[in-house]
Chain A
Amino acid sequence: GDSVTQMEGPVTLSEEAFLTINCTYTATGYPSLFWYVQYPGEGLQLLLKATKADDKGSNKGFEATYRKETTSFHLEKGSVQVSDSAVYFCALNNAGNMLTFGGGTRLMVKP
């Protein structure tokens, strides 16, 4: 079946550092890929998405590129802020409205 693998956290960075959170997937066909973010005490929010190979999703300074050749969708941000501290989930959708999530990566940004 489909699966998503993320780097384990926590990832601890200083403010203004460069962020990469790795995500790879296994799926048949041509899934859509997503990054969700969960701030403390809240539910998940869609951060960005990409629906086909070589698409780049972007939002709030975050970017991720759909790489079919490496089955990856790594999340990047050039300069993180304390307010970016949260748990980030990579996910895929292969049919209908069902999502398959990765295990989540906690990001902690220190001032």
Chain B
Amino acid sequence: ETGVTQTPRHLVMGMTNKKSLKCEQHLGHNAMYWYKQSAKKPLELMFVYSLEERVENNSVPSRFSPECPNSSHLFLHLHTLQPEDSALYLCASSQEASGSSSYNEQFFGPGTRLTVL
């Protein structure tokens, strides 16, 4: 148990559906991340939120829409996805020191296994 929970753990959706993935961290961290883990590909960073502001968006298609209402919660809204979007979506959190360029450990949730039909 890392202190980062994700729901649902498994999701099957059609290409016309709209769904949301939820992440919650109980560690008091101020930064949260969404990663995509596909078979036979390196882990891809999708979005980063620091102090509830989006600071990184790695050329992710607009059919993925993140939301960070507070420092403990992170959502990924999904709509009109494609079969190639099927993957494990991982959430992580960390504590960033203001103005610091040093690395602080990221804690990962168990992921949501998404299948797009």
Contact = CB atoms under 8 A, between A and B. Distances in A.
A96 B94 CA distance: 12
A98 B2 contact: no
Contacts of B42: 4, 101-104
A46 interface: yes
Given A43-B4, A44-B90, A99 B108 contact: no
Given A32-B103, A103-B41, A98 B4 contact: no
A42 interface: yes
Contacts of B105: 46
B103 A89 contact: no
Nearest to B56: A98
Given A96-B101, A97-B94, A45 B43 contact: no
Contact of A95 (B31, B40, B101): B101
Interface residues of A, number: 19
Interface string A62-106: 000000000000000000000000000100010111110111100
Contacts of A43: 2, 4, 90-92, 108-111
Contacts, number: 49
Contacts of B109: 43
Q: Is the interface of A mostly helix, strand, loop or mixed?
A: loop
Contacts of A4: 42
A46 B91 CA distance: 14
Contacts of A98: 45, 48, 56
Interface of A: 4, 32, 41-46, 89, 93, 95-99, 101-104
Interface of B: 2, 4, 31, 40-43, 45, 48, 50, 56, 90-92, 94, 96, 101, 103-106, 108-111
20 contacts: A42-B111, A43-B2, A43-B4, A43-B92, A43-B110, A43-B111, A44-B92, A46-B106, A89-B43, A97-B31, A97-B50, A97-B96, A97-B103, A98-B56, A99-B103, A101-B42, A101-B43, A102-B42, A103-B40, A103-B42
